Amino acid sequence: MQITSAAEIQNNQATYLIYGPPGMGKTSSIKFFPGKTLVLDVDRTTKVLKGQPDIDIAYVSNTNTWEEWGKIILDLDKNYRNKYDNIVVDNISELERCLLSDLGSKGKNKGVPSQGDYQYMQFRVVNSLRYLKNLGANLIWTAWETDDLYTDSSGQQYNRSYPQINKKILNNVLGLCDVVGRILVNTDGERGFVLSASNSTYAKNQLDDRKGCLQNELIQKN
């Protein structure tokens, strides 16, 4: 074993997942990330970043997604390690659908993904997250929001909001993130993130003691 004292840890990079309904401001939040940012655009919503000098955008194919996504991961490792302060995948909900659609189109079920295709997608998404965490940058995944009826241990029911990610890998993906934030708009029109979990919202913050933050405060400068 290679043992390191916690007092000697120097790596400040973290993994974030931010989620909310379409149009709530997830992609716009990228404008506020400190340093140089690379956005892997899956859902084609990066027009809101037009004119930002410290943001580069790479468009991920939404038809030949399975093969191209694998090449992108390898290219990042080979040619772009430690070249960006932030790497953003925008967004994971659409990435899952594109991977499944591509696999289904190559199958024998008239474009409908098979059960095996779902398993392939699940492993690729989780493995991609693990891989991207090692590129020397903050990793930020965006996701759309979904909800369900949640019953706690006492039998009380709540409408619960959480990221729209395949339920088979939901806990795995969220467990690999340091911060999970739900974007909301307050009565004054300010956008911000909920960083503290409740019965109605999935959120967490393992970096500091903040329970919420404004949109421009999510990633703090070192």
User: Structure pTM?
Assistant: 0.91
Average of per-residue pLDDT values in the chain: 92
Domains and CATH numbers, the chain: 9-217 (3.40.50.300)
DSSP 110-159: TTPPPHHHHHHHHHHHHHHHHHHTTSSSEEEEEE-EEEEEEE-TTS-EEE
- Give residue 135's pLDDT band: very low, low, confident or very high (50, 70, 90): very high
Average pLDDT over every residue of 133-140: 94
Q: Residue 160 burial by CB count (10 A; 0-12/13-18/19+): exposed, middle or buried?
A: middle
Main-chain phi, psi angles of 86, to 5 degrees: -140, 135
| In the predicted structure, residue 110 carries a pLDDT above the cut 70 | yes
Q: How far apart are CA 142 and CA 172, in angstroms?
A: 16
| In the predicted structure, residue 106 carries a pLDDT above the cut 70 | yes
Main-chain phi, psi angles of 30, to 5 degrees: -60, -25
Amino acid letter, residue 164 = Q
| In the predicted structure, residue 7 carries a pLDDT above the cut 70 | no
Amino acid 107: pLDDT: 80
pLDDT in tens, 40-68: 999 999 999 999 999 999 999 999 999 99
Identify the bridge partners of residue 55 per DSSP, sorted by sequence position. Answer: 37
By percentage, how much of the chain surpasses pLDDT 70? 96
pLDDT in tens, 84-96: 999 999 999 999 9
| In the predicted structure, residue 4 carries a pLDDT above the cut 70 | no
Q: Is the peptide bond before 166 cis (omega within 30 degrees of 0)?
A: no
